[in-house]
Amino acid sequence: MTVLVTGASGMLGRAVAEHLLGQGEAVRCFQRRPSGVGAEDVLGSIEDDDAVEEAVRGCTAVIHLAAKVSFTGHAAEFDRINVQGTDRLLRAAERAGATDVVHVSSPSVAHGGTSLVGAPAGRADPDHARGHYARTKASAELLALDRCSASFRVAAVRPHIVWGPGDTQLVERVLDRARSKRLPLLDGGTALIDTTYVDNAASAIVACLRRMDQARGLSLVVTNGEPRPVAELLAGICRAGGVTPPEWSVPGAVARGAGAVIERAWLALGRSDEPPMTRFLAEQLSTAHWFDQRRTRAVLDWQPTISVDEGFERLGTYYRR
């Protein structure tokens, strides 16, 4: 079996490819720059028909992680990469004779901005998802699952807030903002949220591929299953990176209002960097979101092996080195 992993230059995609290689699988990686994992690389864009056709040629299975991940940006770009890119990949994979696809999604596809407490996965809802990323990932997930059939099996895995050594999406941003005293706690950082250490997310995604008979057609949220207050999680990341944790607090309602204004200003100014706050980010930091993991673990026959505390220790070792 040859498995295509898209987006393997990112932290999670790289971990998935390395996990597969460690199990003796033939792996091909598809992304814009070399993955560095020691597998066959096909370089190109998910927006390029020819590059996608070359990437899927001869592959039996696909794990699709490539996406535009950002708190801000123009809607059209999210649509081109996350929705049209997913559709292009699925059609090419089916033509190439692939039989199994794990579509890596996000719990944000079913999050309407209110607290989620021990919640099930929920149906992807592009009409109520918050922001262009969540909206387009919701549309892409529905599109992917709609193609599921007896001969072309598709499942969606939604890892929640993935972090670990080498993470530039969450860890580096937390450290940068805490270092410059620009990281407030919203409502005191008391909201309970669950996260996923990168090794656990990767092993769950690979487990989904192995258990496609049970998982096909399903959406499964993956987490460590250890909800912690936001303040505790941010403090753990900061201490691992040698930075003083945030202590000042801002009301969540104020942050949400400010985030909406900042988002509009960033777009109007044509800025490409991440804004200091967005409405979606404020909602994520001020509302509970943790999930019932019983169904996921039963379907995948999987358990996380790295606890949050052990993850902090590994992160600290990474930064000390």
Where in the sequence numbering do the catalytic residues fall? 133
Element (H, E) at 113: none
Q: Which residues contact 104 (CB under 8 A, 6 or more apart)?
A: 12, 63, 64, 65, 67, 156, 157, 158, 159, 205
Query: Does residue 156 sit in helix, strand or coil?
Result: strand
Instruction: Please count the CA atoms within 13 angstroms of the CA of 108 that sit on its side-chain side.
Output: 23
Amino acid at 36: G
Helix (H, G, I), strand (E, B) or coil at 26: strand
For the chain, what is the total number of helices (H) and then of strands (E)? 13, 15
d(CA 3, CA 20): 8
Task: State the virtual CA torsion across 165, 170, 172, 174 in degrees, nearest 10.
Answer: -130
For residue 215, CA distances in Å to 157, 191, 204, 206, 287 come to 9, 31, 12, 12, 29
User: Is 189 in contact with 249 (CB distance < 8 Å)?
Assistant: yes
- Listed residue (292, 291, 281, 287) closest to 115, CA to CA: 287
> Which residues have CB under 8 Å from 297's CB, separation 6+?
303
* Tokens describing residue 272: 């490409």
Tell me how far apart the alpha carbons of residues 155 and 217 are, in angstroms, rounded to a whole number: 5
